[in-house]
């Protein structure tokens, strides 16, 4: 390796230490979601690290009664305010469950 190459390598290491370590160690410390496929597309879990909110839970419900239970639970847990709960209940009664979005079946958040 020439002195010029060594200098560039050192500069690269100083600017990008983690990337340099991954390249030089040759380890494949990538999660499955980060591996490129043969087609060049990337597999990424759409909701990795996502925390569902009250609307997300309502969309999992099959009935208005289930949605009302979710609203009450989220209120008691302190995740939503009394005003927000009141607004959600009103929308649910006036506009129905479909107003909140399409039904999200079990496994919806685990999709790639």
| Nearest residue to 100 via CA among 91, 109, 108 | 91
Q: Give the containing element (helix H, strand E) for 14.
A: helix 3-15
Q: What is the pLDDT of residue 16?
A: 73
CA distance 62 to 104: 9
Q: Tell which wins on pLDDT, 76 or 6.
A: 76
The reported pLDDT for the residue numbered 31 is 45
3-state secondary structure of 20: helix
Instruction: Work out whether the CA dihedral 46, 49, 55, 60 comes out positive or negative.
Output: positive
Q: By percentage, how much of the chain surpasses pLDDT 70?
A: 61
- Which residues is 36 bridged to in the sheet? 42
- The reported pLDDT for the residue numbered 53 is 85
Q: 105 pLDDT band (50/70/90 cuts)?
A: confident
Query: Would you say 68 and 89 are in contact if contact means Cβ atoms under 8 Å apart?
Result: yes
In this structure, what token pair is assigned to residue 105?
A: 């079946």
- pLDDT given for residue 26 in this prediction: 52
Nearest to 101 by CA among 64, 63, 60, 73: 60
What percentage of the chain reaches a pLDDT higher than 90? 35
What is the mean pLDDT of the segment spanning 59-64? 91
């Amino acid at each position: 390796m020439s002195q010029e190459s060594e200098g560039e390598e050192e500069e690269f290491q100083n600017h990008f230490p983690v990337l340099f370590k991954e390249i030089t160690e040759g380890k494949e410390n990538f999660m499955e979601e980060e591996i490129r496929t043969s087609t060049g597309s990337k597999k990424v879990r759409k909701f990795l690290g996502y925390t569902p909110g009250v609307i997300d839970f309502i969309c999992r419900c099959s009935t208005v009664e289930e949605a009302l239970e979710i609203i009450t639970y989220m209120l008691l847990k302190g995740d939503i305010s009394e005003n927000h709960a009141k607004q959600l209940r009103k929308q649910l009664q006036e506009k129905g469950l479909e107003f909140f979005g399409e039904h999200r079946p079990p496994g919806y958040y685990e999709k790639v």
